[in-house]
Structure 1
Amino acid sequence: MRLKDKVVLVTGGNSGIGRGIVLRAVQEGARVVISGRDEEKGRATLNTVRALGGEGAFVAGDLTIEDHCKRIVDQAAAAFGRLDVLVNNAGAGAMRSGVDASDTPGVRLRKVIGPNLEAAYFTSAYALPHLAAAGRGAIVNISSTATFHGQWGNYAVAKAGLEALTRALAVEGAACGIRANAVSPGWIRTEATAGNAGADWEKGVSLLGRMGTPDEIARAVMFLASDEASFVTGATLLVDGGLTITDYCSLPWLEAAGAGRLFAGTLRRDEPDQ
């Protein structure tokens, strides 16, 4: 149990990737505090935590409001007397940011920067003293491979800022033994992404021919939050099934030309077990 007796705050922990992080943290021995705006989902996740034999608490709030961020962090630390790990998972995806066609550029920017970058900044800033008091604290920010793809617009800008924030936090917290890292997921199967496209589309979202799962992201988070990563700080870990190293638009041409077999030739792609 890599997080035994640690207290972990997961923002947006009531659904999707955040819920997966919460449940994996419980299995790693942590006591978890879940934050979110949807109290019904939060209570449901908390019930699942308790069904697994874990200890948890739920704190409702809107992370786009600075005062809410401070209250959530303070209540999380008070729930179990300390705070060891902060996971900044909450955010608004490019398709769920609430941007309207009539919005001005400034409004568009604020709708995306607020929940994806400012929220992580505020929660981290207020968490730093608690993490320092606990000793060897850790922050893990959930970024996105959107940082590599300009078509995601302000969402990509916000997530790129989040990775820069991660490095700034690593420097800020080092003297107090606080590490800060980020996980950059590719396409992950959640309630927000499942069913949005057909099976053929899903085969193209990674080299492994499928979406990832929330638990696969959670396992990466557990590594960065634990002492197994005691010499890792300021890093961003890609967990994308090879999405960002693959030029998918060229694959049909490469297959037709046979160029995809120009490497070592030791794997026979026409064999059934390959």
Structure 2
Amino acid sequence: MDNPVVLITGALTGIGRAAAVAFANRGANVVVAGRRDEAGKALVEELRGLGSWAEFVNADVRNEDEVRAMVDETVTRFGRLDIAVNNAGTEGRPSPITDQSAETYNATFDTNVLGVLLSMKHQVRVMKEQGSGSIVNISSTYGHEGAAGASVYVGSKHAVEGITKSVALEVAASGIRVNGVAPGPTDTGMLTRFTGTPQNKAALVSEVPLARLGLSEEVAAAIVFIASDEASFITGHILNADGGHSAN
């Protein structure tokens, strides 16, 4: 599709930002969503410099009213929604299970799981009326593996993958594809916060067969592919972009 309309949540940093740039470079009209106005406006200017008809929407994916408005504003501005990338996420508070609480659970699941669920609810609402659309949810290798000291984050990403596959089956007859991309260790601010120390980061890299961190741009390329018509017969799939980590 020429000049598709793409909505990306959590678009202001890391993988979300790289995806916005990648779609803009391919001629897409991009709506970037996040919670920081100044950063959002700066990103929009950058995307417009690449030739994209870009817009920023301030939205918190934990709030259904804001999610509904985010999707509706996209459609009002551009007339449709072709691709949605649900990237907003948090690493939460990595620590042993004995240090977790209802508060740490809610802080992680409200963004990583509820945010994806609410976003898909309203994206599907619009895409069903169109009879077409592609949704990509960002998971993690921890969406299908375990990790000591990260039970809440891991649980949230397992939930994302289960929701992705279930909704893919639910909407397949409506002309909507739903897939996920599962990054491995990627050189982002979130990874630095998640690992905590250079030693922990190095230990994580040692588990990657390609022996390095991934780049946000590499994960973005996977997102663009699976969202595109080139992947038109793929739905309900989790695409690993992890340097071979899941093959261990």
- TM-score, shorter chain, exceeding 0.5: yes
Contact 2:90 / 2:190 at 8 angstroms: preserved in 1? no
| Per-residue deviation, 1:52 | 1.1
Matched, 1:108 2:104: yes
TM superposition score normalised by structure 1? 0.81
Partners of 1:206 and 1:103 lie apart in 2 by 28
Structure 2 counterpart of 1:212: 214
Structure 2 counterpart of 1:47: 45
The RMSD of aligned alpha carbons is 2.3
AA of the residue aligned to 2:80: R
SS at match of 1:113: helix
Structure 2 counterpart of 1:149: 146
AA of the residue aligned to 1:197: P
Structure 2 counterpart of 1:230: 232
Partners of 1:188 and 1:34 lie apart in 2 by 21
Per-residue deviation, residues 90-139 of structure 1 (Å, max 9, x unmatched) = 0111348xx9x998732222111100010110011011121123332011
Partners of 1:111 and 1:91 lie apart in 2 by 10
Per-residue deviation, residues 170-217 of structure 1 (Å, max 9, x unmatched) = 112112100000000011112333595269557515211211111111
Find 2:127's aligned residue among 104, 110, 131: 131
**Pair 1:238–1:102, CA change in 2 (3 A):** closer
Contact 1:85 / 1:131 at 8 angstroms: preserved in 2? no
Contact 2:93 / 2:104 at 8 angstroms: preserved in 1? no
**Pair 1:240–1:104, CA change in 2 (3 A):** closer
SS at match of 1:182: strand
Matched, 1:84 2:82: yes
Contact 2:185 / 2:205 at 8 angstroms: preserved in 1? no
Partners of 1:150 and 1:216 lie apart in 2 by 23
SS at match of 1:146: helix
SS at match of 2:190: coil
Partners of 1:200 and 1:213 lie apart in 2 by 15
AA of the residue aligned to 1:210: R
Structure 2 counterpart of 1:171: 169
| Per-residue deviation, 1:150 | 3.5
Partners of 1:203 and 1:192 lie apart in 2 by 15
Structure 2 counterpart of 1:197: 198
SS at match of 2:163: helix
SS at match of 1:149: coil
Partners of 1:109 and 1:134 lie apart in 2 by 36
SS at match of 1:193: helix
Structure 2 counterpart of 1:243: 245
Partners of 1:131 and 1:208 lie apart in 2 by 38
Q: Quick one: percent identity of the two aligned structures?
A: 35
Find 1:75's aligned residue among 73, 76, 98: 73
Structure 2 counterpart of 1:271: none
| Per-residue deviation, 1:227 | 1.0
Contact 1:84 / 1:135 at 8 angstroms: preserved in 2? no
AA of the residue aligned to 2:171: G
Partners of 1:112 and 1:200 lie apart in 2 by 25
Contact 1:34 / 1:42 at 8 angstroms: preserved in 2? yes
* Structure 1 consecutive aligned stretches of length 4 or more whose deviation exceeds 6 Å: 101-104
| Per-residue deviation, 1:242 | 1.2
Q: How many residues align?
A: 241
